Structure 1
Amino acid sequence: MKNILTTAALVASLAAAPVFASTKNYTLDPSHSQIVFSYDHLGYSTTYGMFSGFEGTINFDQQNPAASSVNVSFPVRSMLTGWEGRFEHFMSDDFFGATADELVTFTSTGIEVTGENTALITGDLSLNGTTKSVVLDATLNQAGEHPMEGKQWAGFNATTTLLRSDYNVGAFAPFVSDEVEVMISIEAMEN
């Protein structure tokens, strides 16, 4: 009887103890992660470009998202513009003057949870030799076991607006919009 009472007391104390969620490490799935950017071209059109196939990690705590972090990097020259002439112009000294190994990096510095599946992710964006703080308006699309991979997976969308001139790539503004709309959609797999 004494053993049963002791066991019952131990179980009750464990049930009452706080649960400490742990942060899980996720690696971006380069085949399902894209950054799409757009800007106004002389009022005639909206022009789009994309970065894809990039690398990064997310330390994700689903129970306490504010304890999570993000770190992403990719080569400037991995930009896709849909037209070789535009790509070459962007890589010229008019804009990036990008070398083959020049990277764009984003490292989160804080996360403010704003809703059940939303947060503002503040971080340092380094681009074209300049680092500035930016805020991503992020949404957790889904987290759970991937039906084909059989392991934990997470998907996020995020948006932000950047000023080209903040990163010394503001040529032809204001005729070509200084503001660039950025849309991000990523998937990541637990390590």
Structure 2
Amino acid sequence: MKTALIATGLSVLALSAQAEAEKYVLDSSHSQIVFSYQHLGFSTSYGMFSGFEGDILFDQENPSASSVNVAMPVKSMITGWQARFDHLMSPDFFAASDDEMVRFSSTGIELTGETTARITGDLELNGITKPVVLEARLNKAAAHPMAKKDWAGFDATTMLKRSDFGVDMFAPFVSDEVEVMISIEAMKAE
């Protein structure tokens, strides 16, 4: 009887260990955040963050038990025009120091389909933290053909209001709403 209980206990522990989320780290060379906003109704302006770091605790068997944490320097923003970048970093908008970061930490994941989910989390931007919701999709989870290790790719979108983060200069002429598109790849940690 005692041996049966021990064997059952070990089996439960083994199954629990297999079901835990595994750590993946972002592939900085294949992860981007692109944002866009309307300029006076004449055009759509774009910017991007790339080369950022973060990690995902990914549970393929129970995706709602997964989590994501990402951080990037505000000054790593790419706008394609130096004068626009300089203005965005000025006191009119971010007044960003060299070490100021944008951070996202998930607080919950709700499955909405076989490969889709709603990721709720806290976004810290410009010294203000607000909840945001990402509409996410798992693109692929498989062995990487060149790296020969487990890899995962995700896309997500959200809409932010600049005014929620204190960077609302010129609104509503320059749209308060900013569309955000995210595409990331992550590799299983060693």
TM-score (norm 1): 0.90
Q: Deviations over 1:65-87 (max 9, x none)?
A: 00000000000000000000000
The aligned counterpart of 1:38 is 36
RMSD: 1.3
What is the CA distance between 1:22 and its match in structure 2?
2.1
Supply the distance in 1 between the matched residues of 2:30 and 2:104 (Cα, whole angstroms).
Answer: 18
Q: Which residue of 2 aligns with 1:81?
A: 79
The runs of at least 4 consecutive aligned structure 1 residues that moved more than 2 Å come to 17-20
Offset from partner CA, 1:14-67 (integer Å, 9 cap, x none): 7xx967522110000000000000000000000000000000000000110000
Aligned length: 177
Per the alignment, in what secondary structure is the counterpart of residue 77 of structure 1?
helix
What is the TM-score with the length of structure 2 in the denominator? Answer: 0.91
> Does residue 1:171 correspond to 2:164, yes or no?
no
Alignment-mate amino acid for residue 85 of structure 2: F
Residue 184 of structure 2 corresponds to 186
Residue 94 (1) aligns with residue 92 (2): yes
Identity of aligned residues (%): 68
2:135 aligned with 1:137, yes or no? yes
Match of 2:108 among 103, 110, 119: 110
Name the CA distance, whole Å, in 1 between partners of 2:21 and 2:110. 16
**Partner residue in 2 for 1:153:** 151
Alignment of 1:20-35 (within 5 A): 20-35=18-33
Larger Rg over CA atoms: 1
Aligned-partner residue type, residue 61 of structure 2: Q
* Equivalence map 1:44-59=2 (5 Å): 44-59=42-57
Q: Give the whole-Å Cα distance in 2 for the aligned partners of 1:74 and 1:87.
A: 16
Amino acid in structure 1 at the alignment position of 2:70: V
Partner of 2:3: none
Deviations 1:125-173 (A, max 9, x none): 0000100000000000000100000000000000000000000000000
Corresponding residue for 1:65?
Answer: 63
SS of corresponding position for 2:47: strand
**Secondary structure of residue in 1 paired with 2:124:** strand
C-alpha separation in 2, matches of 1:23 and 1:185: 21
Q: Distance in 1 between matches of 2:74 and 2:103?
A: 10
Query: Residue 147 of structure 2: SS of its match in structure 1?
Result: coil
Report SS of the residue matched to 1:148. Answer: coil
